[in-house]
Chains A and B, each alone.
Chain A
Amino acid sequence: MPTTYVEAIREGLREEMERDPNVFLLGEDIGIYGGAFKVTQGLLDQFGGRRIVDTPISESAIVGAAIGASFMGLRPVAEMQFADFISCGFDQIVNFAAKCRYRWNAPAPLVLRAPCGGGIHGGPYHSQQNEAWFTHTPGLKVVLPATARDAKGLIKSAIRDNDPVIFYEHKALYRRVKEDLPEGDYTVPIGKASVHREGRHMSIVTYSAMVHVAAEVAALMEREGLSIEVIDLRTLTPLDEETILASVRKTSKAIVLHEANLTGGFGGEIAARITEKAFEYLDGPVLRLAAPDTPVPFSPPLEEAYLPNAQKLLEKVRWLAAY
């Protein structure tokens, strides 16, 4: 039976908690309520209040406590109720967790789960894709799965990783994507992109929910004879540059696509690397499609105008194909 993205994360958490008694969860409303998005539903019954800790509304304390517990040998998985509120714990993340190993050789193996993204009419405070805040901070691993299979495999890898991992779960994918998962224990490596769909004429480099937009466009263009390769980065830091460059060397054309707004977004980094390292293979400029530089608006027509979608991507694809 196919497993949804949200179930996949839950199963990943459950299996890791069964495997390792040092793994515990903390966050707001994750116990009796099962989390704002029900990711942790049922885990309190199975593991009890010692390992599923409902906290006060204190993001900085949640992140800080996760760091402190990790120093003592535990494996905390902290939930930010919405990725938007991660800003309340920002200092602990960027100024402490990220720097501990480098500064004084004290690893902080923790996972911060952050439900992110738009398309659910959440408005400016419940829709953001703020991964670029953290990709700019050395010492953090930033992971954004797009599929149920990767969500489970990556949450397990994140828990086993010995460095702090920010795990962005796209809210619009929780119940929208599902697939049959491999039996039993499996992991997906952090720092490895996947070729979501193979193609020959153009590369779309993307991650998180936008992988599905890219796949939709790739399927459409296939009928027009344009073969598009979709690269799902899965992890932004550390970045799997090799997979990106290999794809671009093959196709000679690239579009970078993300849901976060354009300026200072991670797409700029990818475009720069392609240009620096595969310039002679390129048959056109590296294009970016991203959200415009506004907060995420609430009203449906505004939000639709804000989010990248298949229509907007098709325009870029056709333009670049004709270049």
Chain B
Amino acid sequence: MALLDVKDLVVHYGKINALKGVSLRLEQGDFVALIGANGAGKTTLLCAISGVVHATSGTVSFRGKSIFNHASEAIVRSGISHVPEGRKIFSELSVEENLYAGAYIISDKARVKDLLERSYQLFPRLAERRKKEGGTLSGGEQQMLAIARGLMSDPDILFLDEPSLGIAPILVDKIFEFIVQINAMGKTILMIEQNANLALQVARYGYVMETGKITHEAACAELREDDAIRRAYLGVTGATT
């Protein structure tokens, strides 16, 4: 049984058909990348699974139980944490308060403290800035905070939507190292990434989306060798590199 099993998911925004029957599976410990052009429906897919967007039809099951169209506050309780596109830091809460907000579903105070310690170990930069307002951090720091906040609910699955978006190039590698490390901690990751090159290097399995549909899926190593994908997403025009 897959950890997360999505079948034939359809989403409409009014008349716009943003997802036209998308299926996807995540196994325990997976690191899966979702790539595709702007507007392909990647964010919509994550939002429909995490309850931010209402789906028209399809099925979503997590550990064999349906979570289809459950409220987002319920889905995070079942163990899926969604780090949204654009980071969405609570700008006027301190770094530490943002982290506490991430642990909202956990009532055991000692456990929250442990998770907080873990965040600071993983991201020492955040420990230095714990009292600063979220809005005053740099883009890269905000992304670290968004990821750390997403981990504070101690989820089984972490959704990451464009973690490299709007971040200084030197920090992008750093962020991806963190993500690999988080996957090594045992968290299952489903990551959207516009930087397909990078995404297909760090993840193990990949899905490619085009206008509301999955067009390819395969191990990342395989996708990297696929000519159509190389031309469309990896910016390769001629011979192999």
**A and B interact physically:** no
